[in-house]
Structure 1
């Protein structure tokens, strides 16, 4: 097919197999809905059984073939097993979206060392293990798309107790670049989406019409050139781009979904 005659074909992921961890979380749910709507077969992974069942049902109602796995990617065996289950269910793995992770907020002298370690483990170590497991399968196939979830906080600091989170997301950015360099020759691209605040169950209060929310929102919006907070649909374009053939020449990139927040 002549791509220039049909450029939208580059974004077609119908029939592709996508493994999404953290599928019951803010970004993971959005990713599941986007890829379900685009026609992917989904392996959804989350530790919260109730929330996992809800997003799995929602995606099935959209017509997607869904395998739901109630676990967290806490060690090598689990991560390898998730990739194996995806291949067993659907014969391949085209897309990995690592949306699992955590944040624990405390000023440095109030944060226990084990708290810092737990955030780094969830956001960095587990991302590395999942990428490692997926890369092994994708190398056999000769292609694959790995999409990690970073944050604007991987580039920018924060005064309110974000040492663990900022450090973990900066490490995610470094991992994205290193893996992009390492896996490119195998036909595997590795990129990250780095959102700022977007509407989710965790941030919904910032969108409310009250003085407290308005004060926080206005302070934040003073740094956002487009003048608004993010909506879930703002993540659809970046994810489809990075998960499809449209991004075959792009790897090791951090794509800021931030309305220009990190530009100024």
Structure 2
């Protein structure tokens, strides 16, 4: 048998929905999928940032549109899913990138912050999978990739909500994979370690915490966002036909060291 690598990774003409797509890794994934020929719907709660990103990508010749939606609100995310299906007649791929984080000592961690992180990271992922999943079940196929984190397996100090939310996302991924396997829907997660963008946003804490995190990564450096894009594309492609319920760690060896 001869293998055609181009067709094995071909997503040309696929309709992909990417949440949290106005910036960061969501934007990178949306741009990568569009560059490979997919029709990409960018979703974000921030309309201003969303439409700026959409305009930037359209100016580069990418086939993208933007739909503002709040993934934590069932009516909002269902309306988005309905709009995508009405416009394109199918939804092939869903990438859940919407996420937030908050660092604070456990005894001072406010309930409101706990609820916010859990609502966006876990509840929002479920509601989006549910809304898009209805269409994927009807059409008998689909690919879902949830952006998790190495912290879904490895905890850290002052991280009382983000780590548990990502651990919950991992279990949600596995449960959906089992339930929807019969419908030819693959559900996986990509779990990266910290990126340089995280450092720039102050999510690594003080210098001591930064050095401690870096020491745990056998490759000795933070992850670049483009290194996350490849595994996501793989899981969305025909090449990953028999991969479902998998948590793919993009962590420089952290979880095995």
Residues 146 and 173 in structure 2, CA contact (< 8 A), matched pair in contact too: yes
Q: 1:237 aligned to 230, 233, 248, which one?
A: 230
Q: Distance in 2 between matches of 1:225 and 1:154?
A: 18
What does residue 218 of structure 2 align with?
A: 225
Structure 2 unpaired stretches of 5+:
none
Structure 1 SS opposite 2:179: helix
Aligned pairs (5 A) from 1:1-264: 4-159=2-157, 161-200=158-197, 202-204=198-200, 217-264=210-257
Residues 43 and 69 in structure 1, CA contact (< 8 A), matched pair in contact too: yes
Residues 36 and 62 in structure 1, CA contact (< 8 A), matched pair in contact too: no
**How many residues are treated as equivalent by the alignment?**
254
Q: Distance in 2 between matches of 1:148 and 1:26?
A: 15
Give the aligned CA root-mean-square deviation in angstroms.
Answer: 1.8
Return the offset for 1:55.
1.8
What does residue 209 of structure 1 align with?
A: none
Q: Normalised by the size of structure 2, how large is the TM-score?
A: 0.92
Counterparts in 2 of 1:114 and 1:205: CA distance versus 1, 3 Å: closer
Counterparts in 2 of 1:194 and 1:128: CA distance versus 1, 3 Å: same
Counterparts in 2 of 1:150 and 1:24: CA distance versus 1, 3 Å: same
Return the offset for 1:241.
0.6
Return the offset for 1:179.
0.6
Q: Deviations over 1:81-118 (max 9, x none)?
A: 11111112222100001111211221221112232122
Q: Distance in 2 between matches of 1:232 and 1:157?
A: 21
Return the offset for 1:220.
2.6
Return the offset for 1:74.
2.1
Return the offset for 1:156.
0.5
Q: Normalised by the size of structure 1, how large is the TM-score?
A: 0.90
Structure 1 SS opposite 2:22: coil
